[in-house]
Amino acid sequence: MKHRIERDSLGEVEVPNDAYWGATTQRSVDNFRISGLVFQRRFIRALGVVKLACAEANLELGVLSEEKAKAVIQAASEVMEGKLDSHFPVDIFQTGSGTHTNMNVNEVIANRAIEILGGEKGSKAVHPNDCVNLSQSSNDVIPTAMHVACAEAVEHDLLPALEKLNGALADKAAEFKGIVKTGRTHLMDATPLTLGGEFSTYATQIGKGIDRLKEASKRLLELPIGGTAVGTGINTPDGFSALVVKNISHITGIRFRENPDKGEGIAAHDTIVELSGVLKTVAVSLTKIANDIRWMASGPTAGLGEITIPANEPGSSIMPGKVNPTQAEAVLMACAQVFGNDTTITFAGAGGNFELNTMKPVMAYNILQSIEILANSVDSFTDKCLLGIASNTDRIKKILDQNLMLVTALAPKIGYDKAAEIAKEAHASSRSLREVALEKTSLSIDALDKLLDPRKML
């Protein structure tokens, strides 16, 4: 591989000739060979958005020449569009401010801008610090990109996935509203409800999760850009912050606003911690729903078998004909990852001292991963499992007819103790509740039939 020489404040560094990054990025690549994890497309796009918006502001405020600004704007647009994604090799586990990633994007944009102007990469004719990072600091760029990336990911990926799931659950609730089945508490038989009622409860859970997500996302709209190093805005021209936020809003179509206390947006990331907590709550709801569905689909002969799920692929490498609840299992694993990510984000959110949180990169990576895998697993679960669920009505009726907890309807007439005695004897003698109750109470056949009608217990 051919190399060129790039320079930074520490001296000369060899950089691959075809790479757009420069000396600082190369030092990070050499010094932080830790995980192989790099930032997601959403975050790289957000960095492109921020650099584009800053270049436009610097041009308008007259602190960057038109020639250089236009080249930076074009290069930043290419970063935003994903055309230069292969040039962001910096490991997630790096400096806690994310400075290496900020310099990575500064160097890539600078070298691409030099190329656009007809110069040679590494010449610094467009300088990564003096031009691309003008009026900025890693300390305000990285948290601004975190908020932009999360806001876009929630609005364009996760909320649509959850809203589709919510609609599908509501449709199933309507489809199954007339199917009476055995309820269960503690995994044991309980009084009846409808299959539609169960799915309606799931829809309510997801609906509340959507509301929580929308509420938490409001605080993502506050951006600390313009705060530079410690929130004071040193080295920024008057009006810079407001102009950048306006530009970001125009680029993304999301109405961002200035954080009135930019130091708060740099020193702490409570908004990201809050969002992660909401994602965890949504994951808890999804875990409940996915677990219930695989329980109801268990069988087909030795389990509950109350519903059937689509047979998407063979379920076993050794047992022919086996169908497993794979989509539910994928959701459960995604949720497990979200729970772990939330722990990391919580710890990282507490990982600041004085004017700077120093665990920004791991927070950004984990929150975006949580959003991405929740959105993708929910989409897959909805399309490849939920929409194809059907009720096994005969099986549901058979289980319901054997449900000893129907005796609950007799308790107001004959008392709790007598009702318990009837249920126990019916179970021990393998007889019906109706038969035993007819022997042990003065209730008539007609009265028992009315009291033990599952539909009247709804």
Give the start-to-end residue ranges of the domains of the chain.
Answer: 3-134, 140-231+241-394, 403-457
- The encoded tokens of residue 94 equal 């790096």
Active-site residue set:
186, 316
Distances in whole angstroms, Cα of residue 108 to Cα of each of 65, 67, 252, 307: 19, 18, 22, 54
- The pLDDT value recorded for residue 246 is 98
Provide the whole-model pTM. Answer: 0.96
| pLDDT score of 342 | 98
pLDDT digits (tens, 9 = 90+) for 70-123: 999 999 999 999 999 999 999 999 999 999 999 999 999 999 999 999 999 999
Number of Cβ atoms within 10 Å of the Cβ of 149: 26
pLDDT digits (tens, 9 = 90+) for 12-30: 999 999 999 999 999 999 9
Quick one: pLDDT band at residue 1, thresholds 50, 70, 90?
confident
pLDDT score for 248: 99
Topology (CATH) of 3-134: Fumarase C; Chain B, domain 1 (1.10.275)
Q: What is the mean pLDDT of the chain?
A: 97
Q: Give how far Cα 217 sits from Cα of 6, 223, 368, 382, Å.
A: 41, 12, 13, 24
Q: Cα 245 from chain centroid? A: 25
Lowest mean pLDDT across 7-11, 44-48, 134-138: 7-11
369-392 per-position pLDDT tens digit: 999 999 999 999 999 999 999 999
Indicate if the pLDDT at residue 427 is higher than 80: yes
Fold exhibited by the domain 403-457: Ribonucleotide Reductase Protein R1; domain 1 (1.10.40)
Q: CA-CA distance, 283 to 280, in Å (whole number)?
A: 5
What would the CATH number be for the domain defined by 140-231+241-394? Answer: 1.20.200.10
Average pLDDT rounded to a whole number, residues 190-195: 98
Q: Inform me whether the pLDDT recorded for 36 exceeds 90.
A: yes
